[in-house]
Amino acid sequence: MAKTKSKTSRTQPQNTEVDGVYLLKLVLYVLLGSLWLKLGSANNLDTTFPLPLGLAVGLIFAGHEHFRIDRKIEYAVLVVAALVGLMAPYGLFMAL
């Protein structure tokens, strides 16, 4: 009788992350995405020019991250946080 070789399944190591790390990354992207630099004059606070500073830094982090969650989710969280941060009354204000 001929013995058949059993197939050994070689599994590649999966990149599993702890749930806390995943949540921490999402919180980081929400905080970064919501930061705006608002430039304006000290006399007239109504005329401000907003710059999405946190969105730019967040996109750089998302593009060069070693342990990636789905990159589309990272970008979506950054964009939604940037839109909320634009309408919210917080951020950095620099008077010229």
Cα–Cα distance measured from residue 8 to residue 59, given in angstroms and rounded to the nearest whole number: 42
Residue-by-residue pLDDT tens, the chain, 96 positions: 666 666 666 665 565 667 888 889 899 999 999 988 888 776 665 677 888 899 999 999 888 877 666 788 889 999 999 999 888 877 666 666
- What is the reported pLDDT for 27? 92
pLDDT of residue 8: 61
Contact assessment for residue 71 and residue 85, using Cβ atoms and an 8 Å cutoff = no
Which tokens hold the place of 56?
A: 């730019």
pLDDT at 89 (0 to 100): 72
Which value, in Å, is the radius of gyration of the alpha carbons in the chain? 22
**pLDDT at residue 10 in the model:** 65
Annotated domain spans of the chain: 19-95
| Residue 49 CB-half CA count within 13 A | 5
Helix locations, 1-96, DSSP H? 19-33, 53-63, 71-87
